């Protein structure tokens, strides 16, 4: 059997005061590992960046790898998790895929399988969409409708979310990875990848369920957009 182009996936999750969400997020990732049928090695690392709650304790109980940082910065947290992945699998960087999501999000069952399929098809980057729970979509109808219409008008959906992203390790290294930023670290990375002619797969059929809370953990993002749409 020929060797897979990607045989290792690391899922990186930043978490800041997420004790009420992290167990569900990790359960979703575990479900997404099942369809891979052990065809690849998958590791999950949670970077607890700042915070004063029980997030770290719950991560340990859930059996994920845990990294702790005193810096409450989502860009630095994602960078820390990716650095861990690059060091842990330094001998197979050409076959390593890094997927990222958020602690307040729930990935669908075939999330990792779709990432793997896109990577095997030649993609350097996967950019997926997000969705709200039905009752939250009704509460934020304006945002939900605008989001869907905006994506439908484009050849590619055009959205960038750290909650639904994946990248080939070599390409990540080439552009310098995530930068320490309080917000838009995902957009910043993708802009550099596009400038470097990275091959992007825009996936709209595997949306990640994201939180509709307005007290989001970053100074910009979906939470701010939802609050502004009310």
What is the pLDDT at residue 127?
97
Q: Determine which of 86-100, 102-116, 138-152, 178-192 has the lowest per-residue pLDDT on average.
A: 138-152
Q: Which CATH class name applies to 8-229?
A: alpha beta
What is the pLDDT at residue 228?
47
* pLDDT, average across residues 71-75: 89
**Domain parsing of the chain, residue ranges:** 8-229
DSSP β-ladder status, 125-131 and 200-209? parallel
Proportion of the chain in helix, strand, coil states, percent, rounded to 5: 45, 20, 35
| SS3 of residue 136 by DSSP | helix
> Chain-wide mean pLDDT for the chain?
89
CA–CA distance, 78 with 74 (Å, rounded to integer)? 6
Query: Is pLDDT larger for residue 184 or for residue 39?
Result: 184
Does the pLDDT at position 126 exceed 60? yes
Query: Is pLDDT larger for residue 176 or for residue 151?
Result: 176
Phi, psi of 8 (to 5 degrees): -145, 135
* pLDDT, average across residues 50-74: 93
């Amino acid at each position: 059997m020929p060797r897979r182009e990607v045989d290792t996936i690391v899922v990186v999750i930043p978490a800041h005061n997420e004790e009420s969400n992290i167990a569900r997020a990790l359960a979703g990732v575990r479900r997404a590992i099942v369809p891979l049928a052990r065809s690849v090695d998958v590791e999950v690392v949670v970077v607890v960046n700042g915070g004063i709650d029980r997030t770290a304790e719950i991560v340990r109980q859930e059996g994920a790898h845990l990294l702790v940082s005193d810096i409450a910065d989502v860009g630095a947290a994602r960078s820390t998790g990716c650095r861990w992945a690059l060091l842990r699998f330094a001998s197979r960087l050409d076959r390593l895929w890094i997927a990222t999501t958020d602690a307040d999000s729930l990935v669908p069952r075939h999330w990792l399988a779709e990432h793997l399929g896109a990577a095997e098809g030649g993609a350097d980057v996967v950019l997926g969409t997000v969705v709200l729970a039905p009752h939250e979509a009704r509460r934020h109808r304006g945002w939900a409708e605008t989001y869907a219409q905006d994506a439908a008008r484009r050849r590619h959906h055009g959205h960038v979310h750290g909650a639904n992203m994946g990248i080939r390790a070599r390409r990540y290294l080439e552009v310098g990875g995530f930068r320490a930023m309080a917000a838009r670290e995902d957009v910043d990375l993708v802009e550099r990848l596009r400038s470097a002619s990275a091959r992007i797969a825009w996936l709209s059929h595997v949306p990640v369920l994201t939180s509709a809370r307005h007290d989001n953990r970053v100074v910009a993002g979906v939470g701010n957009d939802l609050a502004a749409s009310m």
